[in-house]
Amino acid sequence: MSVGKVAGKLVPGRLRQRNTYAVSGAIALAIIIVLIYVAGFTSAFSVRKVTVSGLHRLTTKGVLAVAQVPKGKPLARLDLKPIRERVEAIPGVARVDVRRAWPDGVRIVVTERTGVAVIDRSGGHWLVDVDGVAFQRLHSTVRGVPTLTPAPAKSPDPAAKAALRVAADLPSWLRVRTISITAKTPDSVTLTLTKGRTVKWGAATQDERKAQILSALLKRSGTVYDIESPKVVAVH
């Protein structure tokens, strides 16, 4: 058989293969276009429900009122950024994650700020987190949450940051015994406990180890417990 005859037999096959690819491609493109249209411009995948999780002090109703998620809007064309920014503006919110929950939902996951100390500011008591952000006004001090003195500025100095870090690291048994916490320098954090006891904590380092040592030291009679250096402690 000549080369010309072989070529003549192969060409129609190649054309049929190309035509098949072209038809398949056109069908796939048409399906994609239909899906885009259905998802983005019809009510088939529109927002029907919004769920909120991670709440402790805040309420679902309050978060939804601030989030303002537009019901009925196609999920594919929903801009999540403004929703996230509105929820992040709530004083008690530290972080928020907003995601689409196909086929018809939006999921809002909130991480609330955790109060580690109470400060006196503008004639009232405020709960502050480890960063010194005042996010909740209180009617009075709260048992189990020490008062930070003096109250830090809106941007806490290094001494106040150290005190807040120690306050955040206190185990629950020690937190309920701590009335106030103060620091003139980052290395001089001091706790005032119940029964007139004072703890010289020092820097915001080895907090877990210091708490363990203090647990044993508090069994001894004294008014001042010095654990600034866990290797050399003293009770006076």
Prediction pTM value? 0.75
Task: Please state, as a whole number, how many other Cβ atoms lie within 10 Å of the Cβ of residue 224.
Answer: 12
Q: Identify any residues that bridge with 97 across adjacent strands, giving them in sequence order.
A: 109
38-90 residue pLDDT tens: 445 555 679 999 999 999 999 999 999 999 999 999 999 999 999 999 999 99
Domain 49-112 part of CATH 1.10.12.10: no
Domain ranges of the chain: 1-41, 49-112, 117-235
Question: For the domain bounded by 117-235, which CATH number is listed?
Answer: 3.40.50.10960
pLDDT band at 142 (very low <50, low <70, confident <90, very high): confident
Task: Please state, as a whole number, how many other Cβ atoms lie within 10 Å of the Cβ of residue 111.
Answer: 12
Per the CB < 8 A criterion, the answer to whether 107 and 101 are in contact is yes
Write the single-letter amino acid at 144.
Answer: G
Distance CA 182, CA 140 (A): 19
3-32 residue pLDDT tens: 444 444 546 666 666 666 666 666 666 566
